[in-house]
Structure 1
């Protein structure tokens, strides 16, 4: 398991606990009491560290290499029922954007999300989770198919941004994202959106318009990454921590500003520390959100969604 810089005290205590248990197994010395003391201290240290995370530390948690990605969630939520669908019917199949049909219980959903890689080879294959225009057009095709058959849509956001390359711009990156935002505002089926990692810029917003928007506890959602913000404002990446603070990108900030509706609690230590609990919590959140909207008529659903976004950014003096 990998540890972030601020998690080093936890690493030291876990190593001490491991050594203590080995001594107990390999000798006649009773180390039960010592192990209990270390365990108690470990829990207290974890609570202290994760309770007081700074915005920049939450950004680091969202990028943790062991953190579950979109396919991990889908496979856990749907099991064998997931059927991945490919291609935008125009250019090609974008591996950074995945989607398909799956079931939670007896209810079918259209799942769409960005997928990152686990190592150098898969990161290149998935383009680091940065979708091209064909990825957004694939997502739109799947959403339109879901609308046709009355299937609710679940989008999982985890991207450092849309791919900024020349070829992406040539194929209409901006138009593809703008088209998705427009079409999602008037889609006649419920849309449930969850930020499971990084929610950066238009790359996230291209599949981020929803009736209910939720964020996992250790994620972020912003128009720009802290590093990019720092490089623009201060001409250096050294001020990324200050930028993270100023951007108000944490789930708490987002909920306070009414940009997201709900924060999904993560297990102590982050989503990667107890994947099964995280998957179960996310599954329950999706089912609960769907229950809120399933009985609304298409007209009421769209009107409610448009009102929700029109209310954002309105301040009364």
Structure 2
């Protein structure tokens, strides 16, 4: 019973500190929360929490603030997160549904998340390696050059120019037939499986036409090499200035880290892939749990969307975790629906 009571005191300290940014004392806890115990009991509980490393005194005063470990216990015990209202969900759906293409979806998503949470919103472009093929178009562009246009299920479009080694100017029938065979084998398949599946297409072509199939297969294989193509978009960095006191000496380092997209990709790619039946999973990394030193004064709340990428928010450890988690989860849900259309 005393352990449960101490955790209730910890919850109250986290909530008050997130709201006020001021160290929380026992008197404030008794005034703001119905703890049902005496001031002496609260002081004893706070002392026990401090001994356990869950709260600390930032300076010589009666007030305490949560540590990273305290936030972690708070988040892990956050069993009930207040859901968004029907009006809020409708507003999200309307805002995202107005997007005209994938770039617009990503831009709208990051702006929306930054506005909802007042944190920095981060979104990874849908990953080609986790996408499936919607359509492949082959477009002769003059002479021996062929443009291979790949459209995946998330709406992402990639183009590759292929030198075929033969003049295609009068080969419209050949290109059309190859297009049909390629789509027959590729549509609905994971992109990473497509080059192998095109081997059967090559076998169905005349020997002199097989190099053309192989060139298309190489172009599609090249599209999966994303080491230089992975992109991440962020919005709301100005929100950090609003809580600059949470970064007394490291705000510039945080801002510099956020400019390093490789760092952001690593943070997002650390989010576990969500499997079927686990679509509401949200990952929270708090303070020192983040692997990149300049971001160890921040927390990251993230989730996967559409089976093809990750999105989330980055902010100070003094964050409204419940609100951030529900916003990230809701936005990811609607992004998934849009990309699956």
TM-score range relative to shorter protein = under 0.3
- TM-score normalised by the chain length of structure 1: 0.27
Larger radius of gyration: 2
- TM-score normalised by the chain length of structure 2: 0.26
